[in-house]
Structure 1
Amino acid sequence: MRIAYFSDDFYPMITGIGDTILITGKELSRRGHEVVYIAPRYAKATYEKTDRAYPADPAYELAEGLPVVRLPSFHIPFSPTGQSRFAIPNGSSFAFLKSFKPDVIHTQSPYGVGWEALRAARRFGVPLVGTNHTAVEDFFPAGTRGIMRKYDAWYYNHCDFVTAPYAKLLERMREKGFTKPGRAVANPAELELFTPATPAERAEHKRALGLTGPTLLYVGRLGVEKRVDVLIRALALLQKEFRTITLIATGHGAAEAGLKKLAVRLGVEKNMYFTGFLSREALSDVYKAADVFAFMSTSDSQSISLMQAYATGTPAVCARARGLPDYTPSEAGFLVEPGDHAALAEKLKLLLTDSALRERMGAAATDYVKKFSPEKIALEWEQIYRDAIARGLS
């Protein structure tokens, strides 16, 4: 099959959506399919922030060996990442697609690139599969959320089949008029580098990072919706009992400056370690230094960083929000109410003080995450694409 992915968020931007479709595409390519990505052009600063080379041709490049066609775009002010672009759906992908001859188009979002996907599906007469990765209202002002939910449903009603990382997201779309067939499909997680550490290895990784006590970890964008502030408030409670505790927070984002100020205000700036962007290899080392993973995002549909924590045998404490309950089994982690830093601190303390519980949950997490391998998820997508193509031919 020839598969064209359209996404408003993609490489080199730090984004879970981009990472997951790149992982899926690489696996499908390995299985003999042809894959292309249509995405916005990004600023040179976005490439520099992730230590990637700016392409000689901003309209076309390769991402891990796979072709990417770039649409002209402009910066979106006040985006959660500070890197987001709005692509202009001017049909500039059509020349490439005419020669590529896609069998199926897979749209990942309902904005500029998503509009290009709608036009391309009509232009080339091929099935349109859609994935809604996130609750759209999490990224818009309160007064516009109802309208955006209706828009979301309207957009995905143009697709032949629609998936989401968790079933409740599709149910919420149906509340606003979504009528097309669909089901939940998990995102894949590329986890070869993320393996459990022995106690001795964990101690060595801590020493390499200059850590001397219990270690908590957050991995992801430092956006407001990620609620890293809740982790810092929980840290302030835990620091009274665990004087050498450290919370590692990776990545960059619009909330970064405010989070650093909060740490100072709460007196835990010396217990915080903001790493900035890390390569996958460095990220693997950080996971192996952590005792517990903490994730209080109120917008995530699955969280690949959570899957990485599980793969390294690290139990988690997550917010009972959006898709996280679907991916936080009781044997591998705890759920607490969104924004409740005291409850978060209580569960973190339990895991830090009970090594047997921590090890038992970590082992269960490692076993649980195997179901999200790229090989297994690619098999699901192959069937979805074949079914969509067959329906289009009937």
Structure 2
Amino acid sequence: MRIGMVTACYKPVINGVTRMVSLYKEHLEAAGHEVTIFTLGNPDPNDEPGVVRSPGLMLGDYGYYVSMRYSSEAQALLQEMDIIHCHHLFMSVEMAHRYGRSPIVYTNHTRYDLYTGSVISLPQPAADAIMRQVWPEFTDFADVVITPSAGLRDVMLEFGVRRPIELIENGVDLRPFHHPTAPLAKADLGVPETAVLVTYVGRLSPEKDVDILLDQFAIAKDVVPNLHLMIIGKGSVQADLQKQAKQLGVTDSVTFTGPVAYEEVANYLAAADLFATASVTEVHPLTVIEAMAAGLPVVAVSSPGIVDTVTSDQSGLLTTKPAGGLAAALVGLASNDARRKQMAQAARQESERFDIYNTIQRTIKLYERLQEERPDLKRKKMHGRRIFDSERLQPVVEQLGKLLWPAEKEPSSRRWFLPSSMTQAEQRPHDN
């Protein structure tokens, strides 16, 4: 099959979505399929074969771009695909519907209901109201929606998503985490060998609640003095977190590694004793699966995505109360070596069901079924309709535009990348 992966961002951006898209490409190609990745932004000299980028407007410093159209090359290639698999709600599904001529699959990787309020500073009820319009309208451009967890499926149904939903869990290549190439010891990281090393891997941004984890770690350390925390990743709040560690008096017990190449993450996890996260915005977190594969019990908040991955009291400890509950769970595992080792074995065994090979096989079966049934030729929203052709979607797009680029905001600069083929009327600058 000729498979198009449509994503709003790709390498060198580091996040769970780009990693999942990369895994799909690698393993689908190994199974004999031809994979083309469609994304936005300037050409990257490090792109592997099969990556097609269309010009777009850079959105902040996150590695994301926005655009109202794809390049002529991308438009033509999309029409040649047998299956199109989208990985973002925006800058993805509608583009595939507009330019493609094949069944469209959309995997929802993000709790957009929670991220909306975080990114544009809205009260949660207002963010929910927006997503009750946006989620159903944009997913209507797909033929099938994939959710990586049952918890997310329930959330999307609650928000009014109408398309058929398939549950296919995210997968991970478990081999590097079972057998790291150059495993690190605590001493290699400047951590005492007698320490119980807690680790967090992920983006350092507000929605990940790393500040809550840091607070809870400081409380737990008062009870278990040999507790140490290693934070792997980078992001907009790193400086704030380092300042917070100093204020809490735990600077000497917290290691900020900065960004670590994905190929090296397994080597760092080999030095740790357990994994912890305070985030409640996860869908089906790859970092948690990878930690489990490395034999690390997980301390986390009981929330959709997490509860579909970790079995509390077996492969980790989950709490419904981040404040106090995370600290208690950290103390419970850090102070009980036998229980921690027992959970470590269970975590590794439990990770087996998230092997990428299972994900790929189930996804290929879905592709084949859609190829046979061709639901895209039977639905009302036929291929080729443009985003502004939908009367129902127009108010949604206008609302999003006002939230992302409010008229009262005086832009500090304007920067955009536009195809030369666009008409003057289409060449409208957007604020960063």
TM-score, normalized by the shorter chain, greater than 0.5: yes
Report if aligned partners of 2:197, 2:274 keep a CA contact under 8 Å in 1: yes
Query: Partner of 1:206 in structure 2?
Result: 186
**Alignment counterpart, residue 174 of structure 2, candidates 178, 184, 191:** 191
Q: 1:371 and 1:234 mapped to 2: Cα distance?
A: 30
Query: Partner of 1:118 in structure 2?
Result: 97
**Shift of residue 135, structure 1, vs aligned partner:** 1.8
Structure 1 spans left out of the alignment, 5+ residues: 43-53
Q: 2:72 and 2:365 mapped to 1: Cα distance?
A: 26
Q: Which runs of 4+ in 1 moved over 6 A?
A: none
Report if aligned partners of 1:189, 1:304 keep a CA contact under 8 Å in 2: yes
Q: 2:247 and 2:135 mapped to 1: Cα distance?
A: 40
- TM-score w.r.t. structure 1 length? 0.87
Structure 2 spans left out of the alignment, 5+ residues: 117-121, 378-432
Summarize the Cα distance change of 1:338–1:150 in structure 2 as closer, same or farther, 3 Å threshold.
farther
**Alignment counterpart, residue 256 of structure 1, candidates 235, 238, 243:** 238
Query: Partner of 1:179 in structure 2?
Result: 162
Letter in 2 for 1:33: H
Summarize the Cα distance change of 1:98–1:194 in structure 2 as closer, same or farther, 3 Å threshold.
closer
Report if aligned partners of 2:85, 2:104 keep a CA contact under 8 Å in 1: yes
What does the per-residue CA deviation read over 1:350-377, in whole Å, with 9 as the maximum and x for residues that have no partner? 1112111111111111111112122111
Report if aligned partners of 2:79, 2:102 keep a CA contact under 8 Å in 1: no
2:204 aligned with 1:219, yes or no? no
Report if aligned partners of 1:153, 1:174 keep a CA contact under 8 Å in 2: no
Summarize the Cα distance change of 1:191–1:97 in structure 2 as closer, same or farther, 3 Å threshold.
farther
Summarize the Cα distance change of 1:245–1:127 in structure 2 as closer, same or farther, 3 Å threshold.
same
Letter in 1 for 2:145: V
Q: 1:309 and 1:238 mapped to 2: Cα distance?
A: 21
Secondary structure of the 1:240 match is helix
Report if aligned partners of 1:8, 1:114 keep a CA contact under 8 Å in 2: no
**Shift of residue 188, structure 1, vs aligned partner:** 1.1
**Alignment counterpart, residue 83 of structure 2, candidates 101, 104, 113:** 104
**Alignment counterpart, residue 87 of structure 1, candidates 66, 69, 85:** 66
Report if aligned partners of 1:94, 1:120 keep a CA contact under 8 Å in 2: no
Query: Partner of 1:62 in structure 2?
Result: 47
Summarize the Cα distance change of 1:227–1:338 in structure 2 as closer, same or farther, 3 Å threshold.
farther
2:345 aligned with 1:363, yes or no? yes
Q: 1:108 and 1:283 mapped to 2: Cα distance?
A: 24
Letter in 2 for 1:88: S
Report if aligned partners of 2:197, 2:272 keep a CA contact under 8 Å in 1: yes
What does the per-residue CA deviation read over 1:60-80, in whole Å, with 9 as the maximum and x for residues that have no partner? x633xx411112122323xxx
Query: Partner of 1:135 in structure 2?
Result: 111
**Shift of residue 295, structure 1, vs aligned partner:** 1.2
Letter in 2 for 1:356: A
Secondary structure of the 1:324 match is coil
Report if aligned partners of 1:86, 1:111 keep a CA contact under 8 Å in 2: no
Q: 2:99 and 2:75 mapped to 1: Cα distance?
A: 11
- What RMSD over aligned residues (CA atoms) do the two structures have, in Å? 2.2
Query: Partner of 2:360 in structure 1?
Result: 378
- TM-score w.r.t. structure 2 length? 0.79
Query: Partner of 1:2 in structure 2?
Result: 2
Summarize the Cα distance change of 1:98–1:215 in structure 2 as closer, same or farther, 3 Å threshold.
closer
Question: What percent of counterpart residues are identical?
Answer: 27
**Shift of residue 157, structure 1, vs aligned partner:** 1.6
**Alignment counterpart, residue 55 of structure 2, candidates 72, 76, 81:** 72
Letter in 1 for 2:115: F
What does the per-residue CA deviation read over 1:257-316, in whole Å, with 9 as the maximum and x for residues that have no partner? 211111111111111111111123432222111111001111111111111111111100
**Shift of residue 178, structure 1, vs aligned partner:** 2.0
Structure 2 counterparts to residues 293-308 of structure 1, below 5 A: 293-308=275-290
Q: 2:151 and 2:260 mapped to 1: Cα distance?
A: 32
Task: Select the structure of larger CA radius of gyration.
Answer: 2
Query: Partner of 1:35 in structure 2?
Result: 35
**Alignment counterpart, residue 317 of structure 2, candidates 319, 334, 353:** 334
Report if aligned partners of 1:103, 1:127 keep a CA contact under 8 Å in 2: yes
| Range moving further from structure 2, 240-249 or 298-307 | 240-249
**Shift of residue 338, structure 1, vs aligned partner:** 5.2
Summarize the Cα distance change of 1:229–1:267 in structure 2 as closer, same or farther, 3 Å threshold.
same
